[in-house]
Amino acid sequence: MGKKIDAAQVRKVAKLARLDLTESEVEEFAGQLSAIIDYVEKMNGLDTGNVEPLAHCLPISNVFREDVVRESLGTEKTLANAPEHDGEFFKVPKILDEGAGA
């Protein structure tokens, strides 16, 4: 077993994060964090010398379509399914109140 996270370290991080933890939570988190560190230490022991670094575990490639100019939908079709519209514009509810300062 590697480095242990003790209750004092958990309390310190909880204080920095402004979390109010009970003693049982402190002990639980100390055990969980210690288990995570143990697992990472196991992974550090693996020989990865012949493993090529990669950004993603699956073979992914971007599929781009040709950029072609097409006719737009037009205002009437665009606004056809809008719940509300005001002339040629979508009408949306306010998200800021009068005192928001924006």
64-to-1, 55, 96 alpha-carbon distances in Å: 49, 20, 38
31-79 residue pLDDT tens:
999 999 999 999 888 998 898 888 888 888 888 888 899 999 999 999 9
Q: Quote the pLDDT of residue 93.
A: 86
CB 41 within 8 A of CB 2: yes
Here the tokens at position 96 are: 């800021």
Tell me the domain boundaries of the chain.
7-44
What is the average pLDDT score of the chain?
A: 88
Phi, psi of 44 (to 5 degrees): -65, -25
Topology of domain 7-44 in CATH is: Histone, subunit A (1.10.20)
In the chain, where does DSSP find H-type helix? Answer: 7-16, 23-44, 75-79
pTM of the entire predicted model: 0.48
The one-character DSSP state at 98 is G
